[in-house]
Structure 1
Amino acid sequence: MSLFEGSGVALITPFTKDNQVNYKKLEELIEFQIANKTDAVIAAGTTAESSTLSAEERLKVIKFCIEAVKKRIPVIAGTGTNNTAEAVEFSRKSYEYGADMVMAVTPYYNKGNESGIIDYYTKIADNVKCPVIIYSVPSRTGVKLSLNIIKALSEISNIQGIKEASGDISYAADIVNTAPKLNIYSGNDDMITPMMALGAKGVISVTSNIIPKENHDMVMNFISGNVNEAVKLQIKYIDLIRAMFIETNPAPIKEAMNIMGFDVGECRSPLGPLSSKNREHIKNIINKYGLKK
């Protein structure tokens, strides 16, 4: 399968009041996304609080999303961790469940060296027969992938994409220049149109949890040549985007969704409730944009 083009949602994981995964709500969120033109669903990624899900929960969330989507749009399984063997197992099982692609974050905390990171992604790619997307987010992992690593990985046939979330547009240009075979996605919602100007196929988005159609329209306008319209949408929603990162993701986006009436529950510890000041700011932003469920 070729990689998707458009706006993919980095879907949150809803929890019940007793902090269990709320699968009924998860199905509602998937239907909301599909009805509002989201181009792909990313299950069990960073925004899904995958680092606080048990291995069993993570695989169950991925399997549930695949079954709920029913092949209407691609499902990308978030399978990365800082343990290569576990990331391989998550990837292998996700592929067996029917994931259209897997996306693996760069190993975090142990800060793999060049040979180790190449080994990590190579082993994931060797164990699935679907496209693999590299997820580079140095602010969370502590590792900024070298261009040597990216070039080497781009030569592996089923490593076909990279979610680039460094926030460094010059570095993104270097990736495009160094590894032209890789499809690139913006990992920053405030850089969708600049990244598309460099050739990105779209975005893997946090804000698509609440504005899926608007992000889809932004990307599709750019692709169809309506660049001015795409840029207008990028600028229009910049205050909303910034508000969704006022504290650590996904705490702000979950707060916004609860204000809008989605009732997705709280984040799992160590992400606690927002400060009262930031909660009020998000409430004002939601009102400013007239957002509702």
Structure 2
Amino acid sequence: MKGLFTALMVSYDQDGNINEKGLREIIRYNVDVNKVDGLYVNGSTGENFMISTEEKKEIFRITKDEVKDQVQLIAQVGSVNVKEAIELAKYATDLGYGALSAVTPFYYKFDFEEIKQYYNSIINAVDNKMIIYSIPFLTGVNMSLSQFEELFENEKIIGVKFTAGDFYLLERMRKTFPDKLIYAGFDEMLLSATVLGVDGAIGSTFNVNGKRARQIFELAQQGKIEEARAIQHVTNDLITAVLDNGLYQTLKEILKDKGVDAGYCRQPMKELSSEKIAVAKEISNLFL
């Protein structure tokens, strides 16, 4: 399960319904044009926390049907509703997803024993593997090296999507857990994370910038740091422009400009103004 995984975007129509045709086009663009190693399905980038259980299942089904076995698939099933998480874990496993992932439980101030029970409850209910999704700046959940070690005592928990800026912790994890998978979660820090020895990366902007991500990742692995840094600089200029204009909406407009029916974002996310759509088209010209 190593390599570059796109955090898959989902196409919705203006009423917020899944646009199956558009979703399939996004999938094909990632597989055929971006040539990523896999897809991370129903994460934050897919607007997962604003959709129903049945809609999540439909996205899992469509993605697997479109991809077949062309690339690796990771199903993000995390939810503060553990019953839903287990239901989704069983569904994705039955579909043939190669691994599961689950965001740390959020909103309520869960203690570590509750977090540990959450992960064990999900993964022990299915015959599959689990990748922890650690994203403290959105969940408020910060875990220590020793706490990750406790989670990894369950052999079915095979790694972590590390979306945090604590690169000291990242380095300590890489040294301490050489046999666990560590994926970088911040696209703008891909070079730094690769130098520290991550096994891959899972990124939102890979939907449109997968080619440059591949260049950064492979050049850094080859020790060609200056070349990789130059591409990271360009990538971060583009990421800054996208963030300033509206992250998910702008990524979808860029995909539309590339001929992909990327649709709209779910409410309460707003639509871009005509001025911001024009900016998104200008940004699109800078992507490979």
TM-score normalised by length of structure 1? 0.90
Structure 1 residue matching 2:90: 3-state secondary structure: helix
Aligned to 1:70: 68
| Cα distance, 1:105 vs structure 2 | 0.6
Range with bigger deviation, 237-246 or 224-233: 224-233
Kindly provide the CA deviation profile for residues 181-227 of structure 1, in whole angstroms up to 9, marking residues without a partner as x.
32111100011111111110121011111122221232223334444
Instruction: State the distance in 1 between where 2:11 and 2:86 align.
Output: 26
After superposition, the CA RMSD in angstroms is: 2.1
Map 1:37-186 onto structure 2 (within 5 A). 37-186=35-184
Cα separation, partners in 2 of 1:82 and 1:151, compared to 1, 3 Å: same
Report 1 or 2 for greater relative contact order, CA contacts < 8 Å, sequence distance ≥ 6: 2
Question: Which residue does the alignment assign to 2:29?
Answer: 32
**Alpha-carbon distance in structure 2 between the residues aligned to 1:248 and 1:87:** 29
Query: Could you tell me how far apart the structure 1 residues matched to 2:248 and 2:287 are?
Result: 21
Deviation at 1:82, TM superposition (A): 1.2
Q: 1:277 to 1:142 in 2, by over 3 A?
A: farther
Runs of 5+ unmatched residues, structure 2: none
2:193 pairs with 1:195: yes
Q: Equivalent pairs: percent with the same residue?
A: 32
Residue pair 1:6, 1:220 contacting (<8 A) in 2 also: no
- Would the aligned equivalents of 2:10 and 2:26 in 1 still touch at CA under 8 Å? no
> Where does residue 269 of structure 1 map in the other structure?
267
Match for 1:10 among 7, 12, 17? 7
Alignment correspondent of 1:218:
216
Give yes or no for contact 1:133–1:159 (8 Å, CA) kept in 2. yes
Alignment partners' CA distance in 2, 1:186 and 1:240: 19
Cα distance, 1:11–1:124 mapped onto 2, change above 3 Å:
same
Q: What is the DSSP-based 3-state SS (H/G/I as helix, E as strand, rest coil) of the residue aligned with 1:255?
A: helix
Structure 1 residue 72 displacement after superposition: 0.9
Code of the residue aligned with 1:181 in structure 2: it is: D
Bigger mean CA deviation after superposition, 258-267 or 242-251:
242-251
Q: Aligned equivalents of 2:88 and 2:247: distance in 1?
A: 23
Over 3 Å counting, the alpha-carbon distance change for 1:225 and 1:127 in structure 2 is farther
Aligned-pair CA distance for 1:158: 1.7
Change (3 A) 1:160 1:119: same
> TM-score by structure 2 length?
0.91
Superposed displacement of residue 34, structure 1: 1.3
Paired with 2:241 and 2:153, the residues of 1 have a C-alpha distance of: 38
**Larger deviation: 145-154 or 269-278?**
269-278
Could you tell me whether the CA contact under 8 Å between 1:207 and 1:244 is conserved in 2?
no
- Kindly indicate whether the alpha-carbon contact (under 8 Å) linking 2:26 and 2:262 is maintained by their aligned counterparts in 1: no
Q: Is the 8 A contact 1:48 1:250 kept in 2?
A: no
Distance of 1:222 and 1:24 partners within structure 2: 36
The equivalent position to 1:23 in structure 2, one of 20, 25, 34, is 20
Helix, strand or coil at the partner of 2:263: coil
For the residues of structure 2 that align with 1:101 and 1:247, how far apart are their CA atoms?
33
Distance (whole Å) between structure 1 residues aligned to residue 47 and residue 231 of structure 2:
28
Q: Which residue of 1 aligns with 2:226?
A: 228
Deviations 1:67-103 (A, max 9, x none): 2111111011111111222212211211111111111
Q: 1:174 to 1:274 in 2, by over 3 A?
A: farther
- Cα distance in 2 for partners of 1:247, 1:152 equals 40
Secondary structure of 2:158's counterpart equals strand
**Counterpart in 2 of 1:255?**
253
| Matched AA of 1:145 | M
Q: Structure 2 counterpart of 1:104, which letter?
A: A
**Residue aligned with 2:283, SS:** helix
Query: Please, which of 238, 241, 245 is the counterpart of residue 239 of structure 2?
Result: 241
Q: Secondary structure at the residue paired with 1:246?
A: helix
Q: Answer yes or no: is the 8 Å Cα contact 1:91–1:128 preserved in 2.
A: yes
**Residues 250 and 230 of structure 1: is their aligned pair in 2 closer, same or farther, counting only changes over 3 Å?**
same
Mark the CA change 1:135 to 1:244 in structure 2 (over 3 Å): closer, same or farther.
farther
